[in-house]
Amino acid sequence: MSAMRVDAKVVMLGKESVGKTSLVERYVHHRFLVGPYQNTIGAAFVAKTIQMGEKVVTLGIWDTAGSERYEAMSRIYYRGARAAVVCYDLTDSSSFQRARFWVKELQNCEEHCKIYLCGTKSDLIEGDRSLRQIDYHDVQDFAEEIGAQHFETSSKTGNNVDDIFQKVAEDYNSTAFQYMTEETGIDLGQKKDSYFYTCCHNN
Ligand SMILES: Nc1nc2c(ncn2[C@@H]2O[C@H](COP(=O)(O)OP(=O)(O)OP(=O)(O)O)[C@@H](O)[C@H]2O)c(=O)[nH]1
């Protein structure tokens, strides 16, 4: 069995039901799951390798549960993360308040963690602009203020999903947070693109 190392730990954060799991599913498995919504319990993990020129970068993505019940647990998963994809639902203003909460938390506790703000479900507002509850420019201003990248994505159509993780990998590769040494990497002993759950979904 060939061992695999995670180069960069990435954590998905955000209010429940904003679409964190769907984002990871779209990125890793190129699919959008329909059917009843199943909330994440604890967290799920997936490793994904990306070819970047002659280099291979392996992202270890922790998909945390958005429910406030699991807030303490989510803190465990962002420890040591080099990138956080902080998600909010473009059609739910309260989810942006929750995103601000996670940003503050990361700023206080994980100063080396790069933040990527992700407005999800853009397909819904493309269908009906009146559904948008969070202004693009307001978030862009906030992103600039905190030194974050900002994306709007749809896991349903795939819009911008690859781009966000590609940017994470590029930032890692461009040595922005490459001070992580060989010693601090994690050996997984798993095959490529493996997806396994620590606590799994509520089904
Ligand atoms: N239309 C649309 N619906 C989406 C999109 N992403 C997620 N959803 C729906 O939103 C609901 C919640 O999605 P999840 O991905 O499970 O949300 P989550 O943030 O992982 O939720 P928790 O596990 O509770 O933290 C599901 O019914 C999804 O089908 C999207 O891009 N477009």
Residue 191 lies in a domain: no
Cross-strand partners of 56: 51
Residue 26 burial (CB < 10 Å; 0-12/13-18/19+)?
buried
Distance of CA 133 to the CA centre of its chain: 21
Identity of the amino acid at 36: P
pLDDT tens digits for range 9-50: 999 999 999 999 999 999 999 999 888 888 888 899 999 999
User: Cα separation of 104 and 141, whole Å?
Assistant: 16
Q: Is the dihedral of CA 35, 99, 170, 132 positive or negative?
A: positive
189 located within any domain: no
CA dist list (Å): 199 to 50, 62, 86, 106, 148? 26, 12, 21, 23, 30
| The predicted structure's pLDDT at residue 189 | 43
Given a contact cutoff of 8 angstroms between Cβ atoms, the answer to whether 154 and 186 are in contact is: no
SS3 content of the chain, % helix, strand, coil (to 5): 35, 25, 35
The per-residue pLDDT for range 123-172, each reduced to its tens digit, is 999 989 999 999 999 999 999 999 999 999 999 999 999 999 999 999 99
Instruction: Tell me, yes or no, whether 100 lies in a domain.
Output: yes
By most ligand atoms within 8 Å of CB, the mutation choice from 17, 31, 95, 98 for ligand 1 is: 17
* Residue 115 lies in domain: 8-184
**149 falls within a domain:** yes
Instruction: Evaluate whether residue 1 is within a structural domain.
Output: no
Q: Is 197 domain-assigned? A: no
Does 196 reside within a domain? no
Q: How many domains is the chain partitioned into structurally?
A: 1
Look at residues 94, 100, 137 and name the one whose alpha carbon lies nearest to residue 115. Answer: 100
Residue type, 89: D
Number of the ligand 1 atom closest to the C-alpha atom of 18: 19
How far apart are the CA of 72 and the centre of ligand 1, in A? 21
Between the CA of 112 and the centroid of ligand 1 the distance, in Å, is: 28
Select from 88, 94, 84, 82 the least CA-distant residue to 139.
88
- The answer on pLDDT for 118 being more than 60 is yes
Q: What is the CATH number of the domain that holds 118?
A: 3.40.50.300
55-111 pLDDT tens trace: 899 999 999 999 999 899 888 999 999 999 999 999 999 999 999 999 999 999 999
In a domain, 69, yes or no: yes
